[in-house]
Structure 1
Amino acid sequence: MLQIAFIRENQEKVITALAKRNMDARSTVEEVVQLDEKRRATQVELDNTLSESNKFSKDIGELMKAGEKSKAEILKAKTVLLKEKSKDLSEKADILANELTQKLYTLPNLPADIVPEGKTPEDNVTTHQEGEIPVLHEGAQPHWDLVKKYDIIDFELGNKITGAGFPVYKGKGAKLQRALITYFLDKNTEAGYQEYQVPHLVNEASGYGTGQLPDKEGQMYHSTVDDLYLIPTAEVPVTNLFRDVILNENELPILCTAYTPCFRREAGSYGAHVRGLNRLHQFDKVEIVRIDHPEKSYEALEGMVEHVKSILQELKLPYRILRLCGGDMGFASALTYDFEVFSTAQDRWLEISSVSNFETFQSQRLKLRYRDQNGKTQLAHTLNGSSLALPRVLAGILENYQTPEGIVIPEVLRKYTGFDMID
């Protein structure tokens, strides 16, 4: 969430920055400032009323001691009126504060200066590309045919049990999935990330804390009876471990990793581009989260990018990195790099990771702060990345490693799978 003081002092800067997201924010920004002015004026009036009431209470005591009971009774009557007024002002201040917060929730994060202009994914900028795209044998197949051929993932069985987008992994498919999860976690912990196991449902406060709520796209599954939400990513529960926390500066950075299933409704997703593992309602993902010092967060972001690169290099998958344009960035992000793996069988790039710096956007909502060396509290910066999302990594492995004899397992995974071929 953007800080109201910053908006108030930099209205045109905020409007210009959000225009990079193709958002005309002028009316919203002006409304936010007006609400804040009303809230502040109401608070001043409330403070003055309470001060006057307190003074009268003190004067009443002195008058009673002096035996001037009639004068004291007059002040008592005035005090009653002031208390009623302060109650009304307090309620008005609370209403204005809530209206202001709800309006601030509608404003996305400001893009960093290096975020490119653009409206669609076609406007994203490729910053790095690596790996040789394999030449497949004649008759090579996309993964949705391969999984049937080798009986390792059953989409129809998942549809029977739950519905479309909930596959069942079987045999070597399940073992390869488990191998990837363990490999990703091992890579992350070796890089200094502490592993967590976290709940797969979160409360409303957690959803607001990381910016998933209010859920404008209707992507979150909501258990209305208990008012809990199935997590769309481990980012939500892991980052909320630090909600309402004040850290010491010497505790930074904090590095976390977690494996969780992820749940996304993906409303309105249809067509060949979402076939098979390309788009699921439930999928597995290993996440990395950092809580960092504001002066070091962009250096940390580059380190996270290098970390994900090292994983893809070991898997020997052809990949590229995109710096997302303003129109394609997530709501809470200040800067995002997307990783995409090339699927030779589908002849297209598949997104497998997003690595983002949120600056203070989440920490403002979370009230996540650190105490600097002078004892002053400051908002920390939060970052997160997929390391990695499994479905499209798995699709890339199945398609790019296929041979006429079967699917070769990447060498780095063989100690986890216990086999080197799916045949």
Structure 2
Amino acid sequence: MHDARTLIELGDEAVRRLARRGYTLDLAGLEALSARRNSSISRTDDLRAESKRVAAEVGRVAKETRGQGEEVEKLKTRAREIKDEIRTSESETEAAEDALREVLLAIPNLPDDEVPDGDSDADAVEVRRWGTPPEFGFEVRDHVDLGEATGILDFGRAAKLSGARFSVAKGPGAVLERALATFFLTMHTARHGYTEFSVPYLVTRETMTGTGQLPKFEEDLFRTGTADRSLYLIPTAEVSLTNLHADEMLDAGALPLAYTAYTPCFRSEAGSYGRDTRGLLRLHQFSKVEMVRFCREEESGAELELMVSHAENCLQALGLAYRVVRLAAGDMGFAARTTYDLEVWLPSQGTFREISSCSDCGTFQSRRAGIRAKDARGGRAQVATLNGSGLPIGRALAALLEQYQAEDGSVTIPEVLHPFTGFRRLLADGTTE
């Protein structure tokens, strides 16, 4: 969330930058709401000051007149009137603050000027590539055909259980999913220095608001609960990990902090009907290892590059060809000011597809969630937050099956996974060796 004063001071610059991501900032309306809030606060403060003065005057006059006389009664009447006026003014202040907050919560983050123009993945700028996409002397099969032919993936039974956009993994398929998750977590904790967490999958509305999923994206979430308490299924562990420090004052000397977690993720995929309906690429429920970092705002750029390298290390260890792109301003997530996507090669589609998105959110989320830091001299500042996929299990499995397939329908397992799988190859009949 933005500080209203900062947006107003930026003025036309804020309007310009938000326009790059397709958002029209009503600067005049924001100024009016801010002025209304400030005026109401000032009036409340003035009334409280007057209340103290009148109370002191009542005491003085009462002492001089021994509590008798018309002047004392007038002062007491005025004291009661001021209390009523304070209550009214406090209500007006609360309403003004709520109205301003509602507007601010709907304004996306300001994109960095280095972010390219545009509003689709076609406008992304390629930064680098790693590995060579494999070439095959036979007709390649997609991960759905490979998974169903070997019996490790069953989308039919998943649909029977839950409907479209769900998957079931069986035998070596379930082992591969578990192996990928364990491998990613091991990379991030043992090699990259992240602290692993096990976090709730159901969170409050306030928690969702803290990272920017609410109020704007409610239709993308799964909501559950009772009549007196609603909870939301997390779309990513970023929500839980970032809000671990909601309304907290961190030790600036302890920054940066690096957290990771492996969780299921739940997304309604509203507005994506007809896109990637086949296979593991766009499910209502999937599993992912997430990375979250907290740092000083001036260090967030370097921290983003570091986080991207951590996701890249996982893909490189698996030997999966990929590229890194910088997203256009209008294609970034609501809370991001800069985003890099890692896109893995899918032979069946002959193109790169997103497997990780790493974003620098600056202080946007920390303002919403109330996360600050204090240094040894007592200085206080908002904390910058970053998040990234490190990596999703389903999309990694899809890329692995497709890039490592053989003509006989078997799939070679990357060497780094052997300690976690117990097998080196998945054979066409569903057995392993």
TM range (shorter): over 0.9
Secondary structure at 1:66 match in 2: helix
Which of 237, 240, 249 is the matching residue for 1:237? 240
Structure 2: unaligned runs, 5 residues or longer = 428-433
Secondary structure at 2:280 match in 1: helix
Q: Does 1:67 align with 2:68?
A: no
Q: Does 1:365 align with 2:387?
A: no
Cα distance per residue 1:332-353 (max 9 Å; x no partner):
0010000000111221221100
**2-structure distance, mates of 1:33, 1:274:** 45
Q: Which residues of 2 match residues 191-230 of structure 1 at below 5 A?
A: 191-216=192-217, 218-225=219-226, 226-230=229-233
* Residue matched to 1:40: 38
Q: Does 1:258 align with 2:261?
A: yes
Which of 345, 352, 357 is the matching residue for 1:354? 357
Q: Does 1:24 align with 2:27?
A: no
**2-structure distance, mates of 1:331, 1:345:** 31
**1-structure distance, mates of 2:93, 2:305:** 43
**2-structure distance, mates of 1:402, 1:360:** 44
**2-structure distance, mates of 1:8, 1:378:** 20
**2-structure distance, mates of 1:155, 1:207:** 30
* Residue matched to 1:184: 184
**2-structure distance, mates of 1:237, 1:209:** 10
**2-structure distance, mates of 1:306, 1:216:** 29
TM-score, normalised by the number of residues in structure 1: 0.97
For 2:424, the aligned partner's letter is: D
* Residue matched to 1:378: 381
* Residue matched to 1:410: 414
**2-structure distance, mates of 1:66, 1:388:** 78
> Do the aligned residues in 2 keep the contact of 1:352 with 1:390 (CA within 8 Å)?
no
**1-structure distance, mates of 2:277, 2:340:** 21
> Do the aligned residues in 2 keep the contact of 1:262 with 1:284 (CA within 8 Å)?
yes
Q: 1:217 deviation in Å?
A: 6.2
Which of 55, 58, 61 is the matching residue for 1:57? 55
For 1:416, the aligned partner's letter is: F
Secondary structure at 1:126 match in 2: strand
* Residue matched to 1:147: 147
Cα distance per residue 1:216-247 (max 9 Å; x no partner):
36110011523100000000011000000001
* Residue matched to 1:122: 122
Q: Does 1:134 align with 2:134?
A: yes
Secondary structure at 1:156 match in 2: helix
For 1:37, the aligned partner's letter is: A
Q: How has the CA–CA distance of structure 1 residues 358 and 272 changed in structure 2, closer, same or farther, with 3 Å as cutoff?
A: closer
> Do the aligned residues in 2 keep the contact of 1:343 with 1:350 (CA within 8 Å)?
yes
* Residue matched to 2:430: none
Q: 1:162 deviation in Å?
A: 1.1
Q: Does 1:280 align with 2:278?
A: no
Q: Hey, which bits of structure 1, 4+ residues long, moved more than 6 A?
A: none
> Do the aligned residues in 2 keep the contact of 1:7 with 1:33 (CA within 8 Å)?
no
* Residue matched to 2:431: none
**2-structure distance, mates of 1:148, 1:119:** 36
Q: 1:94 deviation in Å?
A: 0.2
**2-structure distance, mates of 1:326, 1:170:** 40
**1-structure distance, mates of 2:422, 2:86:** 72
Structure 1: unaligned runs, 5 residues or longer = none
Secondary structure at 1:18 match in 2: helix
> Identity across aligned pairs (percent)?
41
Which of 309, 313, 329 is the matching residue for 1:310? 313
**2-structure distance, mates of 1:140, 1:124:** 28
Q: 1:60 deviation in Å?
A: 0.7
**1-structure distance, mates of 2:364, 2:271:** 28
> Do the aligned residues in 2 keep the contact of 1:244 with 1:366 (CA within 8 Å)?
yes
**2-structure distance, mates of 1:82, 1:272:** 61
Cα distance per residue 1:36-79 (max 9 Å; x no partner):
10110111111111111111001111111112532221100011
> Do the aligned residues in 1 keep the contact of 2:112 with 2:337 (CA within 8 Å)?
yes
For 1:230, the aligned partner's letter is: L
Q: 1:272 deviation in Å?
A: 6.2
* Residue matched to 1:395: 398
Cα distance per residue 1:99-122 (max 9 Å; x no partner):
000010110000012111112110
User: RMSD value over aligned CA atoms?
Assistant: 1.2
**2-structure distance, mates of 1:216, 1:184:** 29
Secondary structure at 1:273 match in 2: coil
For 2:50, the aligned partner's letter is: E
> Do the aligned residues in 1 keep the contact of 2:165 with 2:277 (CA within 8 Å)?
no
Total equivalences in the alignment: 421
Q: 1:21 deviation in Å?
A: 0.5
**2-structure distance, mates of 1:377, 1:38:** 28
